[in-house]
Amino acid sequence: VEPSDTIMVEDEDYDADGNTNLTIEIPVTIMSVNGPENCIFNVGDENSDWITMEAECTIIGLTINSAVNTIRATDIDNILVKDCIVSESSENGIWLVDCDNFRIVNCQCIENGPDGSGLRTENSGGLLSNSVFDSNSREGGSGGGIHFRESDDQLNLIVENCLFSENFASAYGGAVYMTGIEDCLFRNCQISGNQVEESNGGGICITGSSNVRFESCIISENETPRSGGGFYISGGSVVDV
């Protein structure tokens, strides 16, 4: 495989043999022939991630089940994950650290957890678009659907046309938890039917002096035993609705 090559993956249900703890060391595109319903990786190993990106990478049209962290990257920009189904990771479906200009488009993150989130980012910026986060859970922590942590004013986060439903966290933010986020926009999203078990923000928790805007969003029927069924805002955060 040469840099910038496209690797076409044939239709099949792939098992864990030779398909876990993969590392991408050069820029490539990994793409299924006929979409995620026909190209399925069943990792099925409680000790294995699926793929770690050490170079810019595009992944299109795959289903990946039952990894620890399905996709992870540190200090890699311009990542694209499109038309993928990421499910049943025991920790994070997608975990990005120090990654700018990521794009996650038309993906489904389903039933990931209980030791992570559907999507977790740290000091990262990019676009999350036309995606579904359903039935993800974070036991003993915050942000079952997505967990955004620490990004400066040069790292913009945009979440648009996304659905967050039936996500769960023990502590804060059943669907969404954000802390230390300088610039984030939610546009045309629905956040419904999520819950926290012990603390605040059944749908969304925003803290740590974050700056977040919401445009044309539906936030409904989220549950908490304490404060903020829909929203919980603290720590000097500024929210424009």
Task: Report pLDDT digits (tens) over 25-35.
Answer: 999 999 999 99
Enumerate residues 6+ apart whose C-beta is below 8 A from 9. Answer: 30, 31, 32, 33, 39, 62
Q: Give the span between the Cα atoms of 81 and 87, in whole angstroms.
A: 14
- What percentage of the chain has pLDDT greater than the value 70? 100
Length of the chain, please? 241
State the distance between the two ends of the chain, measured CA to CA, in whole angstroms: 48
CB atoms < 10 A from the CB of 140, how many? Answer: 11
pLDDT band at residue 155 under the 50/70/90 scheme: confident
CB 6 within 8 A of CB 35: no
Among the listed residues 121, 105, 163, 114, the one whose alpha carbon sits nearest the alpha carbon of residue 136:
114
> What are the backbone angles phi and psi of residue 131, rounded to the nearest 5°?
-125, 160
pLDDT band (50, 70, 90) for residue 46 = confident
The tokens 């990421």 sit on which residue? 86
* CB-facing half-sphere around the CA of 37: CA atoms within 13 A: 0
Chain centroid offset of residue 16 CA: 23
10 Å CB burial of residue 154 (0-12, 13-18, 19+) is exposed
Mean pLDDT of 103-130: 97
Cross-sheet strand order for the sheet of 168-169: 137-138, 168-169, 195-196
Label residue 17 by pLDDT band (50, 70, 90): confident
pTM (predicted TM-score): 0.96
Q: Which two tokens stand for residue 194?
A: 């999520």
